[in-house]
Amino acid sequence: MAGAECLSSKEQYILGEFNPLLPEVTDYLRKSLRSVTHNYDNEASKNQEDNTCIKKPFITDFNEFHHDIDKALTSLSLPPRFTTVRVNLLKTNVSEAVALVEEQLRLQHVGKSTPLPLVYQHHKLPDLLVVESHGIQKVKPATKEVVVGRMCGSAVLRGAEVFAPGVLGATPDLQVGDAVAVFADLNDTCLRGCKDFRGSKMFLGNGTALQSRKELFQASKSTGVAVSMKEQIFDSPSLGSCHLNLLFLQNLPSVLCGHILNPSKHMKVLDMCAAPGGKTTHIAMLMCNTGQVIAVDRSHNKIEQIRSNAHRLSLTNITAYKYDSTNLILTSDDKNLKSDEEKGGEVFNKIPSNINVDKICSELANSAEDLKFSSPAPPYAPSSFKWILLDAPCSGLGQRPQSHTKTNIKELHSFPVVQRKLLKTAVELLEPGGKLVYSTCTIVTEENEKMVKWLLDKFPNVELINTTPKLGKPGLPHCGLTKEQCEKVQRFGPFPYTNVHVQHVDEDTIGFFVAAFKKLC
């Protein structure tokens, strides 16, 4: 495997220098993505032989990518160097938000030798701040160590502290105040309470222990911050708990989705796979807290997350339902049922308990338009919505950073099946003239370009429309879409570089794909 380490051949891994995917998944992607570029080359050379005009590659980045897909996949083990934060413009403005973030960064930066990260408004998304950090740093591991799980490790790489439940192992004599090196267990082999972990691990940085070994492992349930990070090998800012009602940490392409959907105020929007509510709350904010965003997710616990995020951002135009979105269409049996519970939907009160209900009612009364929404529970009649977002469950292979991802080929093949069911439902629920936005956070063509092709073939009454603003690259060629169609969708990653010299925020994001459709009749 050129340019990428295979997990298992080594004990200690270096950030950004290994491919986190299973070998079988790497092979699958190598074929899928390489055949795309090879086909392109074949076509180009055929044109040359025919003496017709030579087609210029319309995806220039993939020229370079073509030569080293394996290297590009190693970028998945690195976090993006640019952290993006959405501003709740209903509660603050961009310059105030920049000042708040800068203040937070100054507090975190005490004692560090690197310059403060830059903070600025995104060049095309008015509600997005970019925090530009310095990427990989040289840090020498402290002698004592703690080992954390992969999820906790990814969070630390994106600027989080180490929380006690994420800690798996620690040096025997660990005391409060000790300097500790933090490692991530890459193969899930570290047992809780381990004293000297020898499995595959990656150094994340040094911190100060806020809990002793005894506190971490003797208590039945350890909570709170276990290690406060001081020097990270990747200097992502820690903004996760900062000004929770004003700022929302969100990846750039996710924020793009809300802008592409661009719903009108006082209208009704369906978010079919909504939890934890990042895009739902953005859409609700873009609608200035008017109208109604119906947020559906099939997981009960995750519905609570939508509710809590809506609450934290003071958004009252979101109604969340636990429901399987593949069954969202009203059938004749459903019509005979009366209550929401009978219909199978679990309703979550859209007004959080500590919000002044009288005030909200009087605000709503001022907006007669809003009153027409009486929180209808699913299922819904066909053609019920003018705006639908389907941020589909996907293989997630664009997420960054990833460490030793467990997704296997069987799982990879399962996602297009559910995506097709959800897309079919979405098209039925869309009213003629309505807009559907489809997105995934994966780089797999079967879930992206090829899914768009499937939809267009299956539903002749649906048209692919342009997505704006343009921040991503066009879709990949030779997946069934024409050049014009490729230019309408947006693809982010995998990027053909693995280091921190990327200059532009739009070229160092998670892997993502977004397409938009209009229903004609």
**Is residue 224 classed exposed, middle or buried when 0-12, 13-18 and 19+ CB atoms within 10 A define those classes?**
exposed
Sole window of 35-43, 205-213, 320-328, 467-475 interacting with ligand SAM (rule: CB under 6 A): 320-328
Establish if 511 lies at the interface with ligand SAM (CB under 6 A). no
The active-site residue, picked from 152, 190, 257, 441, is 441
| 278 binds ligand SAM, rule: CB under 6 A | yes
Does 402 interact with ligand SAM (rule: CB under 6 A)?
no
Could you give the 3-state DSSP secondary structure of residue 103?
A: helix
Tell me if 275 contacts ligand SAM by CB under 6 A: yes
User: Binding of ligand SAM at residue 393 (CB under 6 A)?
Assistant: yes
Nearer to ligand SAM, 30 or 298 (CB): 298
C-beta of residue 166 within 8 angstroms of C-beta of residue 149: yes
d(CA 408, CA 440): 18
In this structure, the number of other CB atoms found within 10 A of the CB of residue 112 comes to 12
Helices (H), 430-495: 449-458, 483-488
- Evaluated on CA atoms 469, 473, 475, 477, the torsion sign reads positive
- What is the token pair recorded at 67? 């030569």
Candidate segments 49-57, 152-160, 162-170, 298-306, binder of ligand SAM by CB under 6 A: 298-306
- Measured on CA atoms in the order 373, 378, 381, 386, is the torsion positive or negative? positive
Min dist. Cβ of residue 294 to ligand SAM (A): 12
What is the three-class DSSP state of 122? Answer: coil
Our answer to whether residue 361 is catalytic in this structure is no
Q: Is 138 annotated as a binding residue?
A: no
Give the nearest distance from C-beta 76 to ligand SAM in angstroms.
Answer: 17
d(CA 79, CA 55): 35
According to CB under 6 A, which one of 127, 178, 370, 391 is a site residue for ligand SAM? 391
Options 231, 235, 297, 506; binder of ligand SAM; rule CB under 6 A: 297
240 binds ligand SAM (CB under 6 A): no
Could you give the CA distance from residue 482 to residue 233 in angstroms, rounded to a whole number? Answer: 43
Residue 279 annotated as part of some ligand binding site: yes
Q: In whole angstroms, how close is the CB of 297 to ligand SAM at the nearest point?
A: 4
The stretch among 185-193, 204-212, 296-304, 344-352 that binds ligand SAM (CB under 6 A) is: 296-304
Structure tokens at 83: 């952290």
Q: Is 429 exposed, middle or buried (0-12, 13-18, 19+ CB in 10 A)?
A: buried
In the bound state with ligand SAM, the residue whose beta carbon lies nearer, of 298 and 424, is: 298
Q: Nearest 5 degrees, angle CA 470-CA 426-CA 321?
A: 105
Is residue 258 a contact residue for ligand SAM (CB under 6 A)? no
If one asks whether residue 298 binds ligand SAM (CB under 6 A), the answer comes out as yes
Which residue from 72, 125, 142, 296 is in contact with ligand SAM, where contact means CB under 6 A?
296
30, 109, 266, 302: which one binds ligand SAM (CB under 6 A)? 302
Contact of 88 with 245, CB cutoff 8 Å: yes
Nearest of 229, 210, 243 to residue 108 by alpha carbon: 229
Catalog residues that contact ligand SAM under the rule CB under 6 A: 254, 273-279, 296-299, 302, 324-326, 391, 393
The residues assigned a catalytic role are 441
